[in-house]
Amino acid sequence: MEHYENFTLRDFIHDEHFIRWVKNPDADSNAHWEAVRNAFPHQSGLMDHAAGLIHGFSNFYPEVPDSQIELARQVIMDEVSFEKEIPLNRKRLYLSAAASIAILIGVALWFNPAETPMHFAKNILKTESEIRSSNDGTTAKTITLDDGSSIILSPNSTVRYNMESADRRVVYLDGEAFFNVGRNPDRPFFVFANGLTTRVLGTKFKVSAYPDGMDVKVEVTSGSVRVYLTENGEEQVESEGLTLTPNQRAIYTKKDLQLVRSLVEQPKSLVTKEQLATYTYTDTPISKVFDGLEEIYGIRVIYDQETFKNCRLNMSLSDESLFEKLELIGKMVEAQYNVLDGEVIFIGEGCTE
């Protein structure tokens, strides 16, 4: 048992006994791994992280052979850096339920409530000029801020904000709103919403955070945002959050204390209609088609280049939705795809020459 003391995330993910326990736990294996936790409490968070990643692959597609799953895992893991140290002083782990192997590190959030009180969220704006605005109507209400940013406030929603601080712009939201934030690197824009903090420099995004709701959602239209838990209390916790780019969203489930990154329900094109019409391919390597998808939607496509090197496609990317395009490509090359942690993963046996 002693060798588990220094196990890394990669070690746990590759350990056959650990994988067997995660997939098919029983009384004996539960007792064994509970003993490991008790003997090496500093490894508990790492074990939870590894278990979540294994579950993510196990749920990829039940009908996909294990050999293909293993190949996909190896390809993705080869692209990932494991240099980041796992903080040992964090006692609680927030794991994305559908965490992507493609970004093994940085998915989880650790914090110690005893060491990080709520003073940051409460004191970030000690102000006498806070403005409050509510929408009690039935249609959206537009609020223009002094810095040129705008808030489109949904019905039954309220915001409190102050734009006078020299180093930050801060909004508190109850309900739902779409934000169009003017870029200002010297004054980052914070949205505090029902336990989740969103930090941006300049972008467009929507936050849904109704007080009686079970989830808090952040969806990005353009630019990028950083989301993390308000309850952590310290600004440096931002480095342990999730970065969202266009067509990605984060969902914070308050009941389970989980922060999950995924794709929005209907990803939108990031290029003009005129540009979209140019994405037409004739006898083109699949790698070029995947590059085109990434340019259009800003969403990374992960696949084994060696496996699919002989696949060539004839198609246009100008008509169907993203998911329809992915289904079509899958049928053309006899492959399957899934969305994990806001990225698309393709696996299959490839094409013959």
pLDDT 10s digits, 49-97: 777 667 666 555 555 555 555 555 555 555 444 333 333 333 333 333 3
Residues comprising the chain, all counted: 353
Question: Which residue, among 49, 62, 55, has the nearest Cα to 336 in the 3D structure?
Answer: 62
- Domain count across the chain: 3
DSSP H helical ranges for the chain: 9-14, 16-23, 27-39, 44-58, 66-79, 119-123, 273-276, 286-297, 322-333
Domain CATH number, residue 210: 2.60.120.1440
Render pLDDT for 247-277 as a digit per residue (tens, 0 to 9). Answer: 999 998 877 778 889 999 999 999 999 999 9
199, 211 contact by CB (below 8 A): no
Q: What does pLDDT average to in each consecutive run of 10 residues of the chain (353 residues)?
A: 79 82 85 87 76 64 55 54 36 34 32 35 48 92 92 95 88 94 90 90 89 88 88 49 92 83 93 92 95 94 92 90 93 91 90 78
> How many CA atoms, within 13 angstroms, populate the side-chain half-sphere of residue 228?
25
Instruction: Quote the domain boundaries for residue 322.
Output: 273-348
Whether residue 277 is found in the same domain as residue 236: no
Residue 98 pLDDT: 33
Q: Among the three residues 56, 89, 110, which one is the final residue of a domain in this structure?
A: 110
- The answer to whether residue 94 sits within a structural domain is yes
- Listed in sequence order, the DSSP H helices in 189-285 are 273-276
- All residues at 6 or more sequence positions from 294 whose CB lies less than 8 Å from its CB, including other chains: 300, 301
Looking at the fold, whether 247 and 289 belong to one and the same domain comes out as no
